[in-house]
Amino acid sequence: MTTVSYHKIIRWLAVCVAAIALSSCGTRRMSYDFRDLAVAAIRLDMDIEMKDNHKLYLEAADWIGTPYRYGGTTKKGVDCSGLTSAIYRKVYGKKLSRSSEEQRDRDCKRVLKRNLKEGDLVFFHNGKKKRKASHVGIYLKDGKFVHASTSVGVVVSSLNERYYDKHWLQGGRVK
């Protein structure tokens, strides 16, 4: 068994144990099946805790692997702003503008990187126009965000990766 699969099994077991323990106390009804959360944790390669927005993580996990398609808005193919729009509509019931620059300019209030919260948008420039957002994703936690990459489709990446650190523009909290 590889180290990665061992960690995924341990993560799945931890989610299962937490779900069972919390559902048995009777103080709060579980909104989601713990198996769905375990699968989402594996697909996103991160722990999902009880305090996390389960709807966001389940929806983000459901998009993982979707191919990139410029102008796309469906699971047949999606671009970065199409992904953020679709997830925001389903999770928060909010309609976002259809381009990364419009989402930054019209839909968000600026947030510093150190103050990012789950569900905030993260914006990047392409290196040519350093003041214009050419890419957007949704912040999850622990420096990780979900986005539609032109090369690999929908993935979770780290803000600490060299490319994203170098091309960071700003964070945004949706109004």
Of the CA atoms within 13 Å of residue 42, those in its CB half-sphere come to: 17
The question of whether 80 is a catalytic residue gets the answer yes
Residue 147 appears among annotated catalytic residues: yes
Residue ranges of the chain with per-residue pLDDT less than 50: 20-30
User: Which segments of the chain are extended strands (E)?
Assistant: 73-74, 77-78, 108-111, 121-124, 135-141, 144-149, 153-158, 168-174
How confident is the prediction for the chain on average, in pLDDT?
89
Place of tokens 């150190």: 114
Question: Chain-centre distance of CA 15, in angstroms?
Answer: 19
Q: Is 167 a catalytic residue?
A: no
Q: What is the pTM of this model?
A: 0.83
Identify whether the C-beta of residue 148 lies closer than 8 Å to the C-beta of residue 86: no
Query: Who's near 133: CB < 8 A, 6+ residues apart?
Result: 100, 101, 103, 104, 105, 123, 124, 125, 169, 170
Residue pair 69/77 in contact (Cβ under 8 Å)? The answer is: yes
16, 25, 80, 125: the active-site residue: 80
Domains and CATH numbers, the chain: 1-51 (no CATH), 53-174 (3.90.1720.10)
**Active site residue: 25, 108, 135, 167, which one?**
135
User: What are 93-134's pLDDT values in tens digits?
Assistant: 999 999 999 999 999 999 999 999 999 999 999 988 889 999
Listed residue (32, 77, 29) closest to 59, CA to CA:
32
Please give the span between the terminal C-alpha atoms of the chain, in angstroms, as a whole number: 46
**Residue among 54, 108, 125, 147 flagged as catalytic:** 147
Task: Look at residue 130 in the predicted model and tell me its pLDDT.
Answer: 86
Contact call for residues 81 and 99 (beta carbons, < 8 A): yes
pLDDT, residue 127, reads 82
Tokens matching residue 60: 């983000």
